[in-house]
Amino acid sequence: MESRLSLRERAARGLAILLVAWATSRIVVAMGLMLSGFAAVATDPATALLVERYSTLSEHVPGTGVTVGFVAPAEPMPGRQMLARYALAPLLLAEGDSHQLVLVDLDDDAALATFVAKAGAKVLAHPRPGLAILERPRGTP
Amino acid sequence: MTWGPAIGVVIAATTGHLVLAGLSPAPVAWALRVVRAALALLIGISLHSLWHFVWVAGIAGRGLDAGFLLYDLALPITASVVVIAIRRRATRTRGAASRSETPDIRVAPRRRANLLLATSILACGIAVAFAANLAAVQPDGGWDAWAIWNFKARWLFRGGSSWSEILTNPIFTTSHPDYPLLLPLSVSRLWTMAGGVPLGVPQAFGVGAAAVAATLLVGATRTLCGPVSAAVAGAGLLVLPPFLAASATQLADVPLACCYLATLVALAVGAHGAPGRWFALAGLSAGAAMWTKNEGVLFFVCAIACQIATAPLSGAGWREARRRIGEFVAGASPFVIATFVLRSMALPNDLLAGQSLAMSWGRFATPARHAEILGYGVTLLRTQPDTLGVIGLAGYLVLRGARPDLRAGLLALSTLVLTACGYYVIYVVTPNELSWHLDTSADRLAVQLWPSLVFTALLLTRDEQSS
């Protein structure tokens, strides 16, 4: 039966075998390297750490309908506010401190204390160093 | 908790199976059965996301939450009632036709070809397992996954009456309020069944989409081209490693790739004359694409335009062409309506807001933008796929030669080319900084199109000799 195949058909089949063998060997090697630990997958652990950090506030954030401000250092880590939104959904989290409730995520407690004193705010929740929900006095711009 | 999402998937697959049973007769060949199973899952999940949209928008948070499972089950029950009614009517019309059969389009395969196909399927299975391992390393997914899709899924799961804030509140501009909701609704539906927000659900969704794409690609190529080409299709999918990475990082591009591929597969099976309303199934799949990402709207429009353009070549006559396009549009109509409702509520798209024709034309008439996009495209083509794999795939296609009957292939090819042209124009006129826009999205467009491109290329090549 095989002999009745044209040369072109045979070549196509040969190339198909090579292609399948190549693709299979690549994925088997990749899987083997991954499972054996010889190859590590480069990931950014900061995302999971920040999600976990913000999740500690989930018991303390207000219900839906209240917009909370967000203050963080000048973005050493891009997307902190978006990660906080993701971790605390459904929370209306807006940029800046022009809201009565503000989620503050600073480097440490010293920076947080300075911020609280400057804003004249009350700390409602403070689960982690530098992380708090503050209530600013009514009428503060 | 553990079984909730699994039950949700089974319910969705049942709904999809019932819809397919109503639209196309049960096939005899295993390969077409596999294609139908993958299509059933895709269509079932898409329809349940629409069903869940109604729940979120109108019922959730009104003290009826305990009845969610019953509400979810109402969709397959309704579908089964409709299918029974259709079958009874068909039986009355056609007499004693107890079971209609979709014949296998290809000849019986031989053993060696089957062994090659089995190896390719095994490689795809290992690739899916690889993607699952990658997904576990990055539990919250990539940037777009947590910032857009899973963020919205969490909001829809927990939001109750304020669900529409994600569409209307300007503070969520960075999460793209106008983006369609298939992915967030599907994940939040399974979370509702789980009674929590296990990260395994969006991870499984991303990896599962890659598995469905592989199944559709190999099954459809086996049906339409033969076992050797099907083996090449499976290997061809693995030629683009970013496809697996995108599925592991829970991006919407892999589910979108599934919808594109499902549309082209249904169009091709329909064009080959298989009995059943395959053009309606193609419409359902294209509608699901529209409900997955905004690019799906472009794809849907391109698919209609290409069906019209290739109608004279189809040899079926204008009456038949009109029927096919009508079925296609009717199939997509639930998703068209949902998209229209969403767009009427949501803030405008960031690419369109504040833009004018003059501004767009100004960008279009800037040669440097065209050069930058083309240069970026060439770099992507050079760096993204596995070079040896591409050479092998191209060599196989050349050796196989062009198929004498190119009708189905041309429809798929023209749809893909027109969609790619649409992507190109969007980059040319984008109000965002072009280099940033290319850097953050162009590689994912390749992921969206790759499975369809492999399928189309094989569809255009000559059948395997049955010797």
pLDDT in tens, B35-82: 999 999 999 999 999 999 999 888 776 666 778 889 999 999 998 888
pLDDT score of B108: 46
Residues A113 and A73 in one domain: yes
Q: Which of residues 12-41 of B touch A (CB under 8 A)?
A: none
What residues of A are in contact with residue B392 (Cβ under 8 Å)?
A: 15, 18-19, 22
A vs B, Cβ pairs < 8 A, gives 140
Residue B26, pLDDT above cutoff 80:
no
How far is A107 from chain B, CA to nearest CA, in Å?
A: 23
Structure confidence by residue, pLDDT tens digits, A68-120: 999 887 765 558 889 999 999 888 888 888 888 999 999 889 989 998 998 88
Q: How far are the Cα atoms of B68, B248, B290 from residue B176, in angstroms, in the given order?
A: 28, 22, 15
Say if A141 falls within a structural domain: no
Residues A55 and A19 in one domain: no
Chain A's closest residue to B144, CA to CA, is: A82
CA distance B336 to B272: 27
- At B266, list the tokens: 């249904």
How far is A116 from chain B, CA to nearest CA, in Å?
A: 24
- Residues A26, B150: C-beta atoms closer than 8 Å: no
**Sheet containing A67-71: which strands, arranged edge to edge?**
A92-93, A67-71, A101-105, A131-135, A122-128
A11 touches chain B (CB under 8 A): yes
- Residues A9, B127: C-beta atoms closer than 8 Å: no
* pLDDT confidence bin for B126, thresholds 50/70/90: very high
Residue A1, pLDDT above cutoff 70:
no
Structure confidence by residue, pLDDT tens digits, B287-338: 999 999 999 999 999 999 999 998 887 777 788 888 999 999 999 999 999 9
Residues A31 and A87 in one domain: no
pLDDT score of B467: 42
CA distance B146 to B251: 9
- Residues B130, A95: C-beta atoms closer than 8 Å: no
What residues of A are in contact with residue B155 (Cβ under 8 Å)?
A: 89-90
Smallest Cβ distance to B162: which of A21, A90, A95?
Answer: A90
Residues A52 and A26 in one domain: no
Please provide the average confidence, as pLDDT, over all residues in chain B.
89
Q: Does residue B198 contact residue B1 with C-beta atoms inside 8 Å?
A: yes
Say if A107 falls within a structural domain: yes
Q: Span A18-27, mean pLDDT?
A: 95
Say if A93 falls within a structural domain: yes
A4 touches chain B (CB under 8 A): yes
Residues A129 and A72 in one domain: yes
- Max mean pLDDT range (B87-91, B393-397, B400-404, B463-467): B393-397
pLDDT score of B97: 44
Residue B186, pLDDT above cutoff 80:
yes
Residues A7 and A70 in one domain: no
Q: Does residue B455 contact residue B265 with C-beta atoms inside 8 Å?
A: yes
Its pTM stands at 0.92
Q: Span A52-56, mean pLDDT?
A: 93
CA atoms within 13 A on the CB side of A17: 9
- Residues B139, A31: C-beta atoms closer than 8 Å: no
pLDDT score of A77: 53
Classify residue B372 as exposed, middle or buried by CB count within 10 Å of its CB (0-12, 13-18, 19+): middle
* pLDDT confidence bin for A44, thresholds 50/70/90: confident
B222 touches chain A (CB under 8 A): no
Whose CA is closest to B21, among B107, B116, B87, B110? Answer: B87
Q: Does residue B218 contact residue B230 with C-beta atoms inside 8 Å?
A: yes
Q: Please list, residue by residue across B191-226, b when 16 or more beta carbons sit within 10 angstroms of its beta carbon and e when fewer do.
A: bbbbeebbbebbbbbbbbbbbbbbbbbbbbbbbbbb
Structure confidence by residue, pLDDT tens digits, B407-451: 888 999 999 999 999 999 999 999 999 999 999 999 999 999 999
Chain A's closest residue to B170, CA to CA, is: A94
B108 touches chain A (CB under 8 A): no
A31 touches chain B (CB under 8 A): yes
Say if A52 falls within a structural domain: yes
Q: Who wins on pLDDT, B112 or B377?
A: B377
Tokens 């199976």, located at residue: B17
Show contacts of B163-168: CB within 8 Å, 24+ apart. Answer: B163/B56, B163/B57, B163/B60, B164/B57, B164/B345, B165/A64, B165/A90, B165/A92, B167/B342, B167/B345, B167/B346, B167/B347, B168/B345, B168/B346, B168/B347
**CA angle, corner B286, sides to B280 and B291, nearest 5?**
125
B139 touches chain A (CB under 8 A): yes
Q: Which of residues 51-90 of A touch B (CB under 8 A)?
A: 51, 64-65, 67, 79, 82-83, 85-86, 89-90
The residue segments making up the domain with residue A32 are 2-36
Structure confidence by residue, pLDDT tens digits, B87-122: 777 666 655 444 444 545 544 457 788 899 999 999
Residues A31 and A54 in one domain: no
Residues A75 and A7 in one domain: no
Residues A93 and A28 in one domain: no
pLDDT score of A140: 60
**CA angle, corner B401, sides to B399 and B406, nearest 5?**
155
Residues A8 and A57 in one domain: no
How many distinct structural domains can be found in chain A? Answer: 2
Residue B244, pLDDT above cutoff 90:
yes
